[in-house]
């Protein structure tokens, strides 16, 4: 049975008064919303390149979001009576 879905991600980047770049990645699946968080700090000896801070903070926020999704999927697999991922021979969706 074919399945298609469209999930939307909004990424918010901003810098606080201390010069820390912060990112919030908000995933909206239509039935739930998750928020991933990430930060980046420029070392005082480094040149201030805002794009690098944006990339680091955004990547960390999306990594946080990815880990949340994997944790939810693992719980869903267990809820369906399946073994915890990593404890069985991989024949379906490896995580």
Let me know: does 82 contact 65? Beta carbons within 8 Å. Answer: no
Per-residue pLDDT, 80: 82
pLDDT at position 81: 82
Q: What percent of the chain has pLDDT over 70?
A: 85
Sorted by where each begins, the domain ranges of the chain are 8-79
The 8-class DSSP code of residue 73 comes to H
Count of all residues that appear for the chain in the document:
95
Percent above pLDDT 90 for the chain? 68
pLDDT digits (tens, 9 = 90+) for 26-49: 999 999 999 999 999 998 898 889
pLDDT of residue 72: 94
Residue 92 has pLDDT above 80, yes or no: no
**CATH top-level class for 8-79?**
alpha beta
Written as one string, the DSSP assignment of 34-71 is: EEEEEEE---TTS---HHHHHHHHHHHHHHHHHHHHHH
pLDDT in tens, 52-80: 999 999 999 999 999 999 999 999 988 88
Contacts for 34 with CB less than 8 Å, ≥ 6 apart: 26, 27, 65, 68, 69
Higher-pLDDT residue of 25, 90: 25
pLDDT at 88 > cutoff 60: no
Classified as helix, coil or strand, 72 is helix
């Amino acid at each position: 049975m074919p399945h298609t879905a469209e999930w939307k991600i909004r990424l918010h980047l901003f810098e606080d008064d201390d010069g820390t770049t912060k990112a919030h990645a908000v995933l909206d699946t239509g039935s739930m919303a998750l928020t991933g968080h990430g930060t980046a700090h420029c070392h005082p000896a480094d040149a201030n390149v805002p794009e690098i801070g944006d990339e680091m903070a955004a990547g960390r926020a999306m990594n946080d979001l990815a880990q949340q999704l994997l944790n939810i999927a693992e719980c869903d697999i267990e809820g369906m009576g399946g073994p915890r991922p990593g404890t069985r021979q991989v024949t379906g969706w490896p995580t």
